[in-house]
Structure 1
Amino acid sequence: MATKVKLRRKPITQGRATLFLDYYPPILDPETMKMIHKEYLGIYIFQEPQNEIQREYNADMLLKAEAIQAMRIQAVINEEFGFLDKRKQKGDFLAYFRSFLMKKDPKWKMVYAHFEKFTKGKCTFGEVNVDLCRKFREYLLNANQLKFSKKKLERNSAAGYYSTFRGLLKIAYRDKMIRENVNDFLEKIEYKDVKKEFLTAEELGRLAGAPCEIPVLKAASLFACLTGLRISDILKLDWKHIVPAQDGGYCMRLRTEKTETETTLPISDEALELCGERSTGKVFKGLERSMIQHPLQKWLKSAGIEKHITFHCFRHTFATLQIALGTDIFTVSKMLTHKNVSTTQIYAELVNEKKRESANRISLKKLVLKED
């Protein structure tokens, strides 16, 4: 039976009536999967017009309501029910954003905090458009840090935050929470080239030999140097993720948090030893993010390492040492779960730079001068 669309009215306060469309049989809302039989139009008329102005007003409003009725009849025939997402457009985009914070890495919390500040705590799905997103881009480029309010947000932090925000927009579009793929009209914030610090083989050896007040921090750090895993993936690494491999060794089956990539990575015997005795639950029990700040720097200093090394630099260390030892860049790229080999290329350039430095260390001119 074909659905009929009737224009009806319902008495409300102050002698007015609200106009609505009555669908019979009801139609299915594809979003809520519930049957809808009434659509209120937000149009009001006078029940008993008192003068010519009110009569003209009623006639005008009825014409508008009938025009909507005609569009709905056509939509019902074509089974195009996009008009039913009106309520969704009024939904709380910030609440939707918050729903991801426990599932994603801590950077999402920072992005949310900045976006909440930018929107003054209010934003509906209907307000998420190209103009708003471009303004948020400008906000990030000029914003101060939240924790240190007098310090400007670094460009690479702004670039990372905006990339995360665009990731959210992609999910919202996929979930049909926003009407258009606004990412198609947005420019990313370009990262500024910065020097990637890493440990040399000699420095890594010194660090491994230096005592650390927090054993689990030392084990996790050296594990990162041997596997290239990010801190987010190490924190959630579970014993069930470490399984026997077909070649007789062991491997890690995991889903990386940053890129959400399903991957199987081989793990060396030495790296496995750093995990300790096999158990259940988390591999590095007791490891906290707070440990990779001051405690890590204290341990590095005790090893005589003056470089500015963060936990993420252990990932750089893994990559550069692998390439320096002859591992091909494609394999290193797979081990790092990079989606594109070009991302890994920078580590090869770092190794070449070190080769250039070592080549220049032997100088015949300096040797001749010494003999004179």
Structure 2
Amino acid sequence: MLPSTCSKVSLRQRPIKNDRLSLYLDYYPAIRNPRTMKMSRREYLGFYIFANPRNKYQREYNDSILMRAEIIRCRRQEAVINNEFGFLDREQPKADFLLYFEEKAKKHYDKWLIVYRHFERFVKGKCSFGDVTIELCNKFREYLLTAKQLRHPKLTITRNSAAGYWSTFRALLKEAYKERLLKENLNDFIEDIEYEEVKKNFLTADEVKLLAATPCEKPILKAASLFSILTGLRISDILKLRWEDIRPDADGEMAMFIRIQKTQKESIHPLSPEMLALCGERDKGIVFKGFNRSMTQEPLKKWLKAAGITKRITFHRFRDTFATLQLAAGTDIYTVSKMLDHANVTTTQIYARLVDSTKRDTVGRIKLT
């Protein structure tokens, strides 16, 4: 006997034209769709039988359809008992997956928008949830491996960029499945794109001191670059760093209170006097006023050349320099992972939350002089 709080599912018939009966399930009491929050009493199965079968074949047909309907009724009764109501959402497969992707991308960092644009191009601007199958996902994986760059149409995206984009797309599939917008976890049936081993250039401690001692035609570029070397901060976070973000922490020591643009996670970074000096005199608004991405091209190359550094160093390599020099100075990998705001990366292997006092111990280990 079913509990009094559980709806009973009954198979019903309703007369329709052409001497037929439409089969539907009757839920009593009515059940609520957990996504739309609407109450539902009837579920039409799309099955029809003859109201007055005239021969053996029509009777056999009725028996076959009624048997199928009874199987569905039993499954629904079991789902109701288990509080699983995904079957109510008949319109979900028709919903706009591309719109869902776009909304998710806007809530994340820049790479999500890039992957969205690639996927939009791949599906030619149209894709419903019902279209998202294992086959579609595998075809998108193949697309990424040969796709052209969005900004430079003549260039193919690198293997590692494709791996990163594919990882982001799989994260989207995971979210959609968790929200019960996809009926199955497609990630169980699709493979990763493996990253290629890439040798990254970074500056040695002596090269950092050499660069710090070399004049730069763009003083703000020099300040922002050295700040990145000392803090490990990404260029996106340096560009939006404001003076309001720099204030005393719980111990009364100066720190940066920032929301990392890439991950949208809040983070606290202790600051040494040397780091603060690079920020200049306290003001309002943006800390590194006048600094922009264009400076990380020719002006940066010119400054590096003047310092006698011939390695191919981009602005992001200053972040790698921070990590490398911290590890060389004896900072454990867990602390470096925390200082870089890594959640789960192969370069640091393990992500661990550390207390601010542990991070404070790393301040000042890298010196410019």
**Shorter-chain TM-score above 0.5:** yes
Report 1:105-184 matches (<5 A). 105-184=109-188
Counterpart CA distance in 2 for 1:19 and 1:174 is 32
Is it true that 1:27 corresponds to 2:52 in the alignment?
no
CA contact (8 A) 1:8 1:22 kept: no
Deviation at 1:106, TM superposition (A): 1.7
Q: CA deviation at 1:154?
A: 1.2
TM-score by length of 2: 0.75
Q: Is the 8 A contact 1:11 1:47 kept in 2?
A: no
The CA deviation at 1:99 is 0.9
Alignment-mate amino acid for residue 333 of structure 1: S
For residues 49-88 of structure 1, what are the structure 2 equivalents within 5 Å? 64-88=68-92
Distance 1:244 1:69, change over 3 A: same
Q: Residues 35, 224 of structure 1: CA spacing in aligned structure 2 closer, same or farther, 3 A cutoff?
A: same
TM-fit CA distance, 1:97: 1.2
Deviation sequence 1:321-367 (CA, Å, 0-9, x none): 3334444444333322335696248xxxxxxxxxxxxxxxxxxxxxx
Cα gap change, 1:67/1:297 in structure 2, threshold over 3 Å: closer, same or farther? same
> Which has the larger displacement, 105-114 or 182-191?
182-191
Could you give the per-residue CA deviations for residues 257-282 of structure 1, whole angstroms, max 9, x where no partner exists?
A: 44565543221222223333445554
Structure 1 residue 247, shift from structure 2 partner: 5.0
C-alpha separation in 1, matches of 2:56 and 2:154: 63
Whole-angstrom CA distance in 2 between matches of 1:103 and 1:230: 19
Deviation at 1:216, TM superposition (A): 4.4
The Cα shift of 1:294 comes to 4.8
The alignment covers a number of residue pairs equal to 343
Q: Does 1:266 align with 2:297?
A: no
The corresponding residue for 2:361 is: none
Q: Which residue of 1 aligns with 2:107?
A: 103
Q: C-alpha distance in 2, partners of 1:341/1:82?
A: 35
Which residues in structure 2 correspond to 1:156-305 (within 5 Å)? 156-208=160-212, 209-213=214-218, 216-246=220-250, 248-259=252-263, 262-279=266-283, 281-285=285-289, 287-301=291-305, 303-305=307-309
Task: State how far apart, in whole Å, the 1-side matches of 2:78 and 2:344 are.
Answer: 47
Q: Residues 82 and 104 from structure 1, CA distance in 2 versus in 1: closer, same or farther, beyond 3 angstroms?
A: closer
Hey, what does 1:366 align to over in structure 2?
Answer: none
* Structure-2 change in CA distance of 1:4 and 1:190 (3 Å): closer
| 1:330–1:341 contact (8 Å) kept in structure 2 | no
Cα pair 2:246 2:256 within 8 Å, conserved: yes
Q: 2: distance between equivalents of 1:251 and 1:265?
A: 5
CA distance in 1, matches of 2:160, 2:313: 17
Q: Within 1, Cα distance between the matches of 2:42 and 2:240?
A: 48
RMSD over equivalenced CA pairs, Å: 3.7
In the alignment, the residues of structure 2 paired with residue 330 and residue 110 of structure 1 have an alpha-carbon distance, to the nearest angstrom, of 30
State yes or no: 1:92 paired with 2:92.
no
Secondary structure of residue in 2 paired with 1:80: coil
Distance in 2 between residues matched to 1:11 and 1:114, nearest whole Å: 48
The residue matched to 2:29 in structure 1 has which SS?
strand
Q: Percent identity?
A: 59
Gaps of 5+ in 1: 346-372
Deviation of 1:125 (Å): 2.6
C-alpha distance 339-16 of structure 1, shift in aligned 2 (>3 A) = same
Deviation of the 1:217 alpha carbon: 3.9
CA 1:331–1:66 in 2, change beyond 3 Å: closer, same or farther?
closer
How does the TM-score come out when normalised to structure 1?
Answer: 0.75
1:317 aligns with 2:321: yes
What is the match of residue 363 of structure 2? none
Code of the residue aligned with 1:145 in structure 2: it is Q
Cα distance change of structure 1 residues 294 and 105 upon mapping to structure 2, 3 Å threshold: farther
Deviation of 1:193 after TM superposition, in Å, equals: 1.5
CA contact (8 A) 1:329 1:341 kept: no
**Matched residue, 2:354:** none
Q: Please tell me whether residue 306 in structure 1 is matched to residue 310 in structure 2.
A: yes
Q: Which residue of 2 aligns with 1:39?
A: 43
- Check the 8 A contact 1:159/1:191 in 2, yes or no: yes
